[in-house]
């Protein structure tokens, strides 16, 4: 460890977090924290409230892990203590063993200790994540067995920020480790690999680093979309992946875009990414968001707190559409805003929390025209054609049906009002909406497209 001084260690972590978090989030959650002491491999940090502790542990594990890695503090554990709660240490997650040195016969496990919630059984599956989850389960279930007809090595998972890619990846690694404890399983983020490589290059000795990662049985490589900016890192990653693939070792990769859209990556690296199975994760639909919220409320952190009514869960699910992280964060904010003022988590509290976070009126209606214009733009159809053109062509009819469906789902407009917008009878609108629903049940790509559009309209 570079220094035994708690203040210096915390300042290193703070500096890393300040580069990752929005200024408002940094001020709200990080600035009030203070280092307490260093005990063996654990830095104790005082946080001002249970809300801050819960937010940091549940919403910022990846940011803290990055700050630790980039500060050269990968072996340091963090223990968060609420101000005024005494000095007895709570039961902490076991420290992961470090990567074994080259030539070691001991298995290695390298899951960041703040990732203890990332397990497959805690991942809520919805229509937008069915393939990715099924692939994750298959990789864990089939590890070490005879080759299957479907090649899943590497498994490449892609999707937007906060949708659960890292959760799923780490969950695979943990599941494999439980079933095969003798294996070496390593989690590695590309940016942190870059920092490690920079140190090795300065020392003019990169071979031990390469061998360290080549000796793993399972390699979890996170955020490969950042490789496009890193020429030498791409080269080293290529040799590591090539070696692992040739020796039958499992690789799981994550990215915010599919392999063919990775800008700046060498073609030979993209080819390796595409060798196995590629699966995407889409934003969760409304029903899945409700299921995620209910699963979240099963956490031990929420035991003993007042129950959250259905209307509050519905409001949260309607407002936090972008990512799972946003959804869970909004729930946490509502619960603790209610506890701070000593009232149950009612709809009024949820409205206040939403307005305080977004600056928007919680009950502000979305104008139908906005829905229709965004639908036209998504389908690349002129707005006037979408609204008024009489045509049975699929290029016009399908976008119009989707616009009607969205107007009903988002704005809860009566069928007659929707029909008036398109100069159609309300029964035609009802049939159009039913048609969209039916197609969404049988056409997964169509379902994802409609759901993504629905989630993008705020």
> What is the model's pLDDT at position 219?
92
Measured CA distances, 88 to 79, 80, 91 (Å): 11, 12, 9
Residue 74 among known ligand-binding residues: no
> What is the model's pLDDT at position 85?
64
Give the side-chain half-sphere CA count within 13 A for 229.
6
pLDDT in tens, 80-90: 988 766 544 44
DSSP 102-130: TT--S--EE--GGGTT--GGGPPP-TTTH
Residue 162 among known ligand-binding residues: yes
Q: Which residue has the tokens 């990968």?
A: 74
Residue 276 among known ligand-binding residues: no
Task: Tell whether the model's pLDDT for residue 351 goes beyond 50.
Answer: yes
Residues 6 or more apart in contact with residue 245 via CB below 8 angstroms:
153, 154, 251, 272, 275
Give the side-chain half-sphere CA count within 13 A for 287.
5
Residue 359 among known ligand-binding residues: no
DSSP 333-375: HHHHHHHHHTS---HHHHHHHHHHHH-S-TTPPPPHHHHHHHH
Report which listed range, 50-59, 96-105, 336-345, 426-435, is most confident.
426-435
Lowest mean pLDDT among 45-49, 95-99, 204-208: 95-99
Give the side-chain half-sphere CA count within 13 A for 408.
20
Compute the average pLDDT of residues 274-302: 86
pLDDT in tens, 274-284: 888 999 988 88
Tokens found for residue 346: 């009612």
State pTM to two decimals: 0.74
pLDDT in tens, 416-425: 999 999 988 9
Beta bridge partners of 156: 253, 278
């Amino acid at each position: 460890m570079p220094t035994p001084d708690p203040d210096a260690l915390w300042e290193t972590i703070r500096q890393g977090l300040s580069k990752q978090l929005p200024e408002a989030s940094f001020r709200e959650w990080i600035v009030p924290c203070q280092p307490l002491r260093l005990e063996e491999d654990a830095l104790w940090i005082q946080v001002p409230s249970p809300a801050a502790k819960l937010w940091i542990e549940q919403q910022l594990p990846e940011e803290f892990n990055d700050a630790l890695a980039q500060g050269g503090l990968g072996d340091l554990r963090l223990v968060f203590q609420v101000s005024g709660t005494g000095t007895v240490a709570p039961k902490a997650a076991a420290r992961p063993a470090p990567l074994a040195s080259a030539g070691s016969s001991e298995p290695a496990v390298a899951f960041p200790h703040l990732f203890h919630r990332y397990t497959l059984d805690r991942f809520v599956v919805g229509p937008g994540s069915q393939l990715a989850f099924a692939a994750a389960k298959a990789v864990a279930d089939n590890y070490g067995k005879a080759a299957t007809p479907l090649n899943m090595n590497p498994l490449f998972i892609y999707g937007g920020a906060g949708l659960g890619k890292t959760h799923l990846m780490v969950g695979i690694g943990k599941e494999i480790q439980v079933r095969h404890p003798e294996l070496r399983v390593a989690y590695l983020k590309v940016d942190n690999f870059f920092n490690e490589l920079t140190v090795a290059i300065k020392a003019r000795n990169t071979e031990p680093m390469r061998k360290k990662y080549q000796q793993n049985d399972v390699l979890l490589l996170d955020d490969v979309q950042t490789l496009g900016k890193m020429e030498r890192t791409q080269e080293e990653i290529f040799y590591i992946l090539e070696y692992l693939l040739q020796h039958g070792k499992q690789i799981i990769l994550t990215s915010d875009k599919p392999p063919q859209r990775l800008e700046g990556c060498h073609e030979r690296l993209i080819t390796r990414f595409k060798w196995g199975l590629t699966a995407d994760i889409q934003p969760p639909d409304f029903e899945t968001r409700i299921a995620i919220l209910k699963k979240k409320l099963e956490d031990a952190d929420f035991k003993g707190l007042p129950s959250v009514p259905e209307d509050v869960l519905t409001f949260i699910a309607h407002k936090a559409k972008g990512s799972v992280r946003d959804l869970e964060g909004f729930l946490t904010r509502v619960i603790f805003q209610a506890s701070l003022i000593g009232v149950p988590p009612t709809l009024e509290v949820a409205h206040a929390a939403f307005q305080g976070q977004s600056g928007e009126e919680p009950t502000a209606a979305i104008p139908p025209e906005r829905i229709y214009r965004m639908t036209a733009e998504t389908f690349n159809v002129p707005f006037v054609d979408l609204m008024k053109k009489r045509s049975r062509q699929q290029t016009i009819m399908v976008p119009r049906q989707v616009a009607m469906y969205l107007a009903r789902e988002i704005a809860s407009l009566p069928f007659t009002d929707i029909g008036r917008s398109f100069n159609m009878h309300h029964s035609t609108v009802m049939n159009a909406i039913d048609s969209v629903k039916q197609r969404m049940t049988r056409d997964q790509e169509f379902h994802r497209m409609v759901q993504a559009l629905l989630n993008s309209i705020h």
